[in-house]
Structure 1
Amino acid sequence: MSRIADTREVILTSDSSSEHWSAAVWDHRTGSILSTYKYAAALSHRSLQLLSDSYVVGADLTKPRIYVWPLNSHTPISNLRLTTPGKVTALSCTPNGAYIVAAISEKLFLWQLCNGRLLKNLSQHYQTVSCLSFSKDSSIFASGGEDGLIFIWSLYRVLNDEHPTPLHTFSHHSLPVKDLQFGHAGARGRLCSVSLDRTCNVYDPGSGLLLLTLVFDVPLSSVSMNTRESDLFVGCTNGDIYRFNLHEPPRGIEHHVQVRNDGNSEGVIVFHGHKSSVVALSISIDCRSLVSGSTSGEVHVWDIASHQILRTIDHKGPITAVFFAKHYDNFRVTDLKPRLQLCNLQRISDDTGKENSIEVITRDRNTTDILNFDSFTEKNIDTIGSGNPTAKKLLEMKEEIYKLKKINTAIYQYSVNNILNKSDKNLTLT
């Protein structure tokens, strides 16, 4: 079973050198390179992203530009102009690839990728935004900056309110926020943050409550949680990685992590291996492997149970991104049929109120049925299982409508045959 779990994930990395490629895909079991994304500049810190199962995106390290590669191609899309209003300092997209948020200095820009519209320009931070993260259900996203502030935004409010405001504002960090990550339970999951002030905070995005503060002896630079949200991994500027068990939290909100001489502490395990700041962490879906990247250009793949390094992937420059990703078939197909439609990005918001057409791409379905309500109800009622409560309800409603039509027809016939005929007879007698 573990073998099946291993084969469905790969590792994506990027570094600041771009000597041979801008980003690469690796087999985490062997450390061998599977594919590369070339012919572009180096990518900025944590800007490497996957757009669903179709594209790889990343922001230029020095220029106001975003690159897009098809998942199966070394070459970026040449006829797509993704120019931004300034150099991107952080980047994140919804898991389905519908929206992308880019931080440019202290401002946030939200685009809809299918038509390239700039939907919102958010300005809430006082200093440069250093990290962005979307929840797994795309309903909310968080921004953290060098001002130590963290804002949680509702995507719905940002899209629909004229002047959207954050759902929650957190000001518990006193130094720049270096990394953010939502848990795997969507908006009901946890939000973790780390800062150079040596603290790691765990928040409840729904209520806006601070649940836990972990205080360490060194500045923190990266954070990650496993899919069960049971283990929290924190990367430090000295190269150490801490593993903390969230299922056995301390009684108080604030907890000072004290490491013993043997390198461990109660409830905490230390992973020693890096010699410089750990800037990126990611955990495999089966919670067995951890991947970490440092400013010295090393990517380590760890066995979490034994906290030993399984293999090391060396890069030419400081790591800017590393994470586990699903091993989509599109990584190796010859003819890519993307689910997403991409357009050039607007640099100025278009608030004219005009309707915009959106191209809908679907597979194995007649496109004329997409907006046809009957195709989802009447035509499919007979094909839905008889035990489906929705199907039963639809059938009952159709029968009720048929009965009402018969009653209306009978009332009409009665009116014609009796009331109108009697009126005609009375007229004839007079």
Structure 2
Amino acid sequence: MEVVLAASSVDADIGCWDLQSGAEQLRYKTCAAPSHGLISVGSRFLASSQIRDSSATAGLVLYWDWSKPQVEAKSFPAEPIRPLAANHSGTYIAGGGLSGDIYFWEVETGRLLKKWHAHYMGVTCLVFSEDDSLLISGSEDGCIRVWSLFMIFDDLKRKEAGHLYEHSFSEHPLEVTDIVIGYGGCNAIIISAAEDKTCKVWSLSRGMLLRNIVFPSVIDAIALDPAERVFYAGSRDGKIFIVALNTERMFSHNHDMHIISSFSNLSKAVTCLTYSASGNVLISGSEDGMVRLWNTKEKHALERTLKYAKGPVNNILVVRRQLDSSKSMSSTLQSPSSRRQGSLLPPPLEKYSNSTTDEDSDVKTIVNLHDGRSGVDVSYMSSQVIFNQIKEFQNRGSSASEMEMERLKMDCRRSGQMVDRFKKMYEDMLEFYEDDFLKEGQTKT
């Protein structure tokens, strides 16, 4: 079943509706998510960052099980986290801090695998690439950076490189409000929106700006058409613009030529957008607390309106829920002894990295970067499990090496004894021939 989820920045429930029928499902209590702070982790459970107090020094991340309205697990990162992102299989979660740091956790264990300083100001957006090998971040300083996880987790390359990021785009002078990435892996395009009233299209393979589109109002949300012919831009004046999209490098003083059309019957700003490819439906959230579904086939006619709450909607998700999510979760997670009684969710996220474990072992974290959207259930294998297996193999290898060393020592002793015997035989033969030669010489004389 495909569902629509909506959250707000004020204390409110997470709304949930059946995408096809519009019937309201279970509401999840209670959530105050920042923009881009609500995610579905591998379609198994919901997670959301929380910023309830602007003066708070520690962060808060909440987990909800699909079948229960109450919060099931709480995590307290080292600082407030704004955007969250999960890879497609739900094995890793990335979080962007107000300090500009990015945190990378392993879901199964909650272990903080990496933390690095990504931006000079707070992180506002985080997006994984189609193949989960890249992480794209946007910041309050207007900078967009592309991070290769292979580089992040490769200590040797990281030391050799002058910087960690693959690309750094700094053409936005103001805060980045949204980022989407297309298909094609390293050949994909990136579209960014910012408070400078522009959207920019970037080439990931060439690391360059392809197109700059100027709008009459600030764009807070963008959504990409699956065919990548157009993208949708939600503005603060209540309009949703349809923008032509191609990969040609194109600059013109007539910026309106890129905007095909717009549609609106909204009274307040459009704050979030997402696209459901299965139904060709564009879904928008706005400050008036309404979720709207637009039929993209019929000139973007308003198909349905879902009433969320009195507060603004700032997060919209479309998730294909697993009806037997609890069973699949229990089959993939380890023993629940370390978890809260009765909960099948993973443990909370670590506040700090376990540096002791890292220093004591020569085994680095193994990150599985693959496309997990095939619908096949992913069996979690934590880095600690892999570490224990490697240790076992090392111990086996040590025992075998010791046995081999003893065998070689024994062979060496036998070889030494044979050399001594041959040396003795040589000396005896030499003495015999010397005596025989002397006797023959005396006889001739």
d(CA) in 1 for partners of 2:166, 2:20: 41
Map Cα deviations across residues 381-404 of structure 1 (whole Å, 9 max, x no partner).
xxxxxxxxxxxxxxxxxxxxxxxx
In structure 1, the partner of 2:354 is: 350
2:264 aligned to which of 267, 272, 275? 272
In structure 1, the partner of 2:295 is: 303
1:75 aligned to which of 65, 70, 82? 70
d(CA) in 2 for partners of 1:111, 1:335: 21
1:131 aligned to which of 125, 129, 148? 125
Worse-superposed segment, 320-329 or 196-205: 320-329
C-alpha spacing 1:294/1:24, structure 2 compared with 1 (3 Å): same
Displacement of 1:250: 7.2
In 2, are the aligned partners of 1:239 and 1:278 still within 8 Å (CA)? Answer: yes
d(CA) in 2 for partners of 1:75, 1:272: 36
Displacement of 1:254: 4.8
Does the alignment pair 1:90 with 2:83? Answer: yes
Higher helix fraction (1 or 2): 2
Does the alignment pair 1:288 with 2:292? Answer: no
Aligned pairs for 1:254-265 within 5 A: 254=252, 256-258=254-256
In structure 2, the partner of 1:115 is: 109
TM-score computed with the length of structure 2 as normaliser:
0.71
Displacement of 1:335: 8.3
Displacement of 1:169: 0.1
The code of the aligned residue for 2:186 comes to: A
Worse-superposed segment, 167-176 or 87-96: 87-96
**Aligned partner of residue 315 in structure 2, secondary structure:** strand
Displacement of 1:209: 1.7
In 2, are the aligned partners of 1:227 and 1:287 still within 8 Å (CA)? Answer: no
Displacement of 1:292: 0.5
**Aligned partner of residue 46 in structure 2, secondary structure:** strand
C-alpha spacing 1:199/1:340, structure 2 compared with 1 (3 Å): farther
d(CA) in 1 for partners of 2:187, 2:323: 30
Displacement of 1:255: 6.4
**Aligned partner of residue 94 in structure 2, secondary structure:** strand
d(CA) in 2 for partners of 1:255, 1:204: 21
In structure 2, the partner of 1:400 is: none
**Aligned partner of residue 167 in structure 1, secondary structure:** strand
Aligned pairs for 1:195-274 within 5 A: 195-247=194-246, 252-254=250-252, 256-258=254-256, 268-274=260-266
d(CA) in 2 for partners of 1:314, 1:209: 41
TM-score computed with the length of structure 1 as normaliser:
0.73
d(CA) in 2 for partners of 1:123, 1:343: 25
In structure 2, the partner of 1:48 is: 38
The code of the aligned residue for 1:178 comes to: T
**Aligned partner of residue 151 in structure 2, secondary structure:** helix
Displacement of 1:338: 5.9
C-alpha spacing 1:176/1:357, structure 2 compared with 1 (3 Å): closer
C-alpha spacing 1:9/1:344, structure 2 compared with 1 (3 Å): closer
The code of the aligned residue for 1:76 comes to: V
In 1, are the aligned partners of 2:43 and 2:319 still within 8 Å (CA)? Answer: no
In 1, are the aligned partners of 2:39 and 2:317 still within 8 Å (CA)? Answer: no
In 2, are the aligned partners of 1:215 and 1:255 still within 8 Å (CA)? Answer: no
d(CA) in 1 for partners of 2:74, 2:269: 34
Displacement of 1:145: 0.9
Aligned residue pairs total 346
C-alpha spacing 1:256/1:339, structure 2 compared with 1 (3 Å): farther
d(CA) in 2 for partners of 1:364, 1:17: 34
C-alpha spacing 1:330/1:206, structure 2 compared with 1 (3 Å): farther
Does the alignment pair 1:155 with 2:153? Answer: no
In 2, are the aligned partners of 1:87 and 1:104 still within 8 Å (CA)? Answer: yes
Map Cα deviations across residues 327-371 of structure 1 (whole Å, 9 max, x no partner).
43246x78854645623322222233335999x9x9799x9xx99
C-alpha spacing 1:160/1:49, structure 2 compared with 1 (3 Å): same
In 2, are the aligned partners of 1:274 and 1:298 still within 8 Å (CA)? Answer: no
In 1, are the aligned partners of 2:15 and 2:308 still within 8 Å (CA)? Answer: no
What's the Cα RMSD here?
Answer: 2.9
Map Cα deviations across residues 191-250 of structure 1 (whole Å, 9 max, x no partner).
110011111111122221212111122211111102222221111111111112325x77
Displacement of 1:44: 2.2
d(CA) in 1 for partners of 2:252, 2:322: 41
Does the alignment pair 1:190 with 2:189? Answer: yes
C-alpha spacing 1:160/1:335, structure 2 compared with 1 (3 Å): closer
d(CA) in 2 for partners of 1:219, 1:196: 5
In structure 2, the partner of 1:27 is: 18
**Aligned partner of residue 282 in structure 1, secondary structure:** strand
- How many percent identity over aligned positions? 25
In structure 1, the partner of 2:27 is: 36
The code of the aligned residue for 1:66 comes to: V
d(CA) in 1 for partners of 2:87, 2:187: 17
Displacement of 1:267: 5.6
The code of the aligned residue for 2:282 comes to: L
d(CA) in 1 for partners of 2:151, 2:258: 43
d(CA) in 1 for partners of 2:232, 2:18: 22
d(CA) in 2 for partners of 1:110, 1:166: 15
Aligned pairs for 1:167-186 within 5 A: 167-186=166-185
In structure 1, the partner of 2:429 is: none
2:319 aligned to which of 325, 329, 335? 325
1:314 aligned to which of 283, 291, 307? 307
Unaligned runs of 5+ in 1: 1-7, 259-264, 372-430
Displacement of 1:256: 4.2
In 2, are the aligned partners of 1:237 and 1:276 still within 8 Å (CA)? Answer: yes
In structure 2, the partner of 1:10 is: 3
**Aligned partner of residue 75 in structure 2, secondary structure:** coil
d(CA) in 1 for partners of 2:17, 2:348: 30
Map Cα deviations across residues 280-299 of structure 1 (whole Å, 9 max, x no partner).
11111146210001122121
**Aligned partner of residue 352 in structure 2, secondary structure:** coil
In 2, are the aligned partners of 1:54 and 1:340 still within 8 Å (CA)? Answer: no
d(CA) in 2 for partners of 1:357, 1:158: 11
C-alpha spacing 1:117/1:213, structure 2 compared with 1 (3 Å): same
1:58 aligned to which of 41, 45, 48? 48
